[in-house]
């Protein structure tokens, strides 16, 4: 393997690794945000069911509208279910990206081992 080919291949693998790391960070942030949203909705459901007010106010822009508890709880439960599904998708994507990272790491290791000039 010529030195130029080695450097080209090394550069491709490093770019690929950088992209995978960026994806991993993005997925981690998505997971944290969705988990936070879900916990917030669950706590709101718990508070509404615990206090059992007749009606609650929902913020829409700068205005507040009165809605029944059942409507609010149903909407929040739907949101929790949706977020649970989205968290599953993010988890699967995260697993895939981690496999891609490990494959790229092994390819880098093999490339370095196969090239005598790359070893110290």
Residue with tokens 């030195």: 3
Look over the chain and give the mean of its residue pLDDT values, rounded to a whole number: 89
Chain mean position to CA 41: 18
Domain 3-118 is in which class? Answer: mainly alpha
Q: What percent of the chain has pLDDT over 90?
A: 55
pLDDT (tens digit per residue) in 23-55:
999 999 999 999 999 999 999 999 888 888 777
Domain limits, the chain: 3-118
Between these two residues, 81 and 120, which has the higher pLDDT value? 81
Q: Can you tell me the distance from the alpha carbon of 95 to that of 98, in angstroms, rounded to the nearest whole number?
A: 5
pLDDT (tens digit per residue) in 53-107:
777 888 888 898 888 888 888 999 999 999 999 999 999 999 999 999 999 999 9
120's enclosing H/E stretch is none
User: Which pLDDT score, from 0 to 100, does residue 99 have?
Assistant: 95
Q: Can you tell me the distance from the alpha carbon of 24 to that of 44, in angstroms, rounded to the nearest whole number?
A: 30
State the pTM of this model: 0.77
Q: Are residues 72 and 48 in contact, defined by beta-carbon separation less than 8 angstroms? A: yes
């Amino acid at each position: 393997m010529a030195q130029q080919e080695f450097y080209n291949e090394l550069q491709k693998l490093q770019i690929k690794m950088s992209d995978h790391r960026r994806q991993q960070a993005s997925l981690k942030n998505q997971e944290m945000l969705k988990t936070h949203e879900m916990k917030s909705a669950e706590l709101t459901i718990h508070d509404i069911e615990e206090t059992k007010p007749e009606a609650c106010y929902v913020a829409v822009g700068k205005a507040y509208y009165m809605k029944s508890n059942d409507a609010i709880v149903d909407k929040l439960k739907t949101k929790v279910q949706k977020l649970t599904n989205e968290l599953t998708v993010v988890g699967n994507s995260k697993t895939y990206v981690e496999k891609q990272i490990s494959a790229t790491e092994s390819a880098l290791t093999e490339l370095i081992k196969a090239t005598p000039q790359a070893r110290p």
